[in-house]
Amino acid sequence: MAPAAYSLEINGKVGLESLSFFQEAKYPEQESAYHSAFIEPELYFQSGENSEIKAKLFYRYDASSASRTHADIRELMFYQYADEWELNAGIGKVFWGTTESRHLVDVINQVDMIEGLDDESRLGQAMLQAKLIKEWGTLDLFILPGFRPLQFGDETTRPRFNPLVADSDPLYQSNDETRHIDFAARWNHSFDELDIGLSYFNGTQRNPLYKLMTENGTPKLLPVYVQSQQLGLEAQYISGDLLLKAEAVHRKSHKLTTGDHFIDYDSNALVAGFEYTFVGINDTAYDIGLIGEYLYDEWESTTPFQKDWMTGLRFVFNDEQSSEILLGHTLDLDDQSQMWLIEASRRLGENWKAELTGRWVTSVDDDNTFLQAYQQDDLLDLKMSYYF
């Protein structure tokens, strides 16, 4: 039942996080551990029978790294609902896609690299969104004013690229720079066992290219944001305990030549795989999920995933504390570089949650520039959150 009009609710979480590294730091400015505190309040205001305002703010304070101390408006949206449509305006977050290892079609929100142990933390994006919910599916139309470049941190950030990324003044293909207005559309629908989505994006490509330059005599990487059109397809088919998942994109994008000219560049990328759940192992409540995904991307300079295979093993305990463990392994099929991941979480009491993340790399190839950045930066992250 809809609550009475003009009701205000405040929820959220607050917590402590400790990020520690196993090896000695590559650069003298980096630490062996980063301790921080964060708060993520959520506000909900019922402004009318069918309208509401939702806000979600984020702030992290890190005593040892100024660049990890940051704030973001994850959401500040006005929502107007009707039976067959929605009109939403403000700063928001959307999710597109089906796969687990990489979110290829999900291009609306920029990645929060400072939070970024993966690409799941996203920055809020200014948007005007119209949604149509019909018999033939759901259609979303977006106008996206304003672009948010990636934040790479500074010398104290760990891990970091070498040379450092000069993210304060990136290069944009469009003269409108961060004021470029992007457009996007997505249709999605369910046909019995098949869930399918088609999307289109036209605007500033979220992940940049890099140009080597020198700043006061030191080499730096300059992020270059090009204009891009992306056509995306996402699908998931369900058959009993087996899920088949795929995301594919075709990009009509641009590259920067050595003479600083932008030239057309088209590329394709794919993530496809499965998730199989073994339910109730040995008549216990435990479930084990096996995940396998193949990653392919023609565009070498924007991602480490040219030809990779990700294997995941998810243990779900189905207990009172919602305990879960995820083991992940990504193998680069070209050069055999490997990345390992462990994620575990458990509720403590009614309001607390403990989360552990570990990540390390093995047999990193000398030419694998993205994984090179993670070498000697094997990490363990412990997070304790209180929900209110």
Partner 1 sequence: MKTTLTTALGLTLTLSLFSSHIYAQTPEEKGLAIAQEADKRDNGWGDQTSDMEMVLLNRQGESSRREIRTQTLEISGDGDKSLTIFDKPLDLKGTAFLTFSHTHGADDQWLYLPALKRVKRISSRNKSGPFMGSEFAYEDMSSQEVEKYTYKYLRDEPCGDGLTCFVSERYPTDEFSGYTKQVGWLDTDEYRPIKIDFYDRKNALLKTLTFSDYQQYLGKYWRAHKMEMINHQTGKKSIVNTSNYQFKTGLKDSDFNKSKLKRLR
Q: What region does 120 belong to: left with phi over 0, alpha with psi -120 to 50, or beta?
A: alpha
Query: Contact letters (x/-) for partner 1, 317-336, by CB under 8 A?
Result: -xxxxx--------------
State in angstroms the smallest separation of the CB of 329 from partner 1.
22
| 285 part of the interface to partner 1, by CB under 8 A | yes
CA distance 374 to 362: 10
H-type alpha helices, the chain: 369-372
Return the residue of 260, 264, 283, 366 that touches partner 1, per CB under 8 A.
283
Q: What are the tokens at 205?
A: 């490509």
Binder of partner 1 out of 287, 298, 365, 381 (CB under 8 A): 287
CA distances 305 to 266, 287, 328, Å, are 17, 29, 15
Is residue 48 involved in binding partner 1 (CB under 8 A)?
no
Residue choice 26, 44, 141, 313 for contact with partner 1 (CB under 8 A): 44
Block residue for tokens 């795989």: 273
At residue 109's C-alpha, the angle toward residues 107 and 115, to 5°, is 120
Measured from the CB of residue 138, what is the shortest distance to partner 1 in angstroms? 4
Q: How far is the CB of 117 from partner 1 (least distance, A)?
A: 14
Q: CB of residue 287 vs partner 1: minimum separation in angstroms?
A: 6
Site for partner 1 contains 282 (CB under 8 A)? no
Among 162, 190, 214, 363, binds partner 1 (CB under 8 A): 190
Q: CB nearer to partner 1: give 14 or 373.
A: 14
Which residue stretch of 30-38, 131-139, 266-274, 366-374 sits at the interface with partner 1 (rule: CB under 8 A)?
A: 131-139
Minimum distance between the CB of residue 361 and partner 1, rounded to whole angstroms? 25
Q: Does 349 bind partner 1 (CB under 8 A)?
A: yes
Q: Where are the beta strands (DSSP E) in 240-278?
A: 242-256, 262-278
Residue nearer to partner 1 on the CB measure, 108 or 222: 108
Distance CA 38, CA 53 (A): 23
Q: Phi and psi of 372, rounded to 5°?
A: -55, -35
| 174 touching partner 1, by CB under 8 A | no
Among 297, 353, 364, 371, binds partner 1 (CB under 8 A): 353
Q: For residue 191, state whether it binds partner 1 (rule: CB under 8 A).
A: no
- Residue 279: strand, helix, or coil: coil
Concatenated DSSP letters of 168-221: SS-EESSTTGGGPEEEEEEEEEEETTEEEEEEEEEEE-SSPEEEEEEETTEEEE
Name residues whose C-beta falls within 8 Å of residue 240's C-beta, 6 or more positions apart in sequence. none
User: What pairs with residue 341 in β-bridges?
Assistant: 328, 359
Residues 2-41 interacting with partner 1 (rule: CB under 8 A): 3, 11, 13
Rounded CA-CA distance 245/233 in Å is 11
- State the binding string over 229-268 for partner 1 (x if CB under 8 A, else -): -------x-x-xxxx-------------------------
- Map tokens 């009172």 to a residue: 320
Q: Which two tokens stand for residue 357?
A: 């993340």
79 binds partner 1 (CB under 8 A): yes
Helix/strand/coil for 368: coil
Among 6, 24, 28, 84, indicate the residue that binds partner 1 (CB under 8 A): 84
Residues in contact with partner 1 by the rule CB under 8 A: 1, 3, 11, 13, 44, 46, 52, 79, 81, 83-84, 86, 93-95, 120, 131, 133, 138, 188, 190, 192, 195, 236, 238, 240-243, 277, 279-280, 283, 285, 287, 318-322, 347, 349-351, 353, 385, 387-388
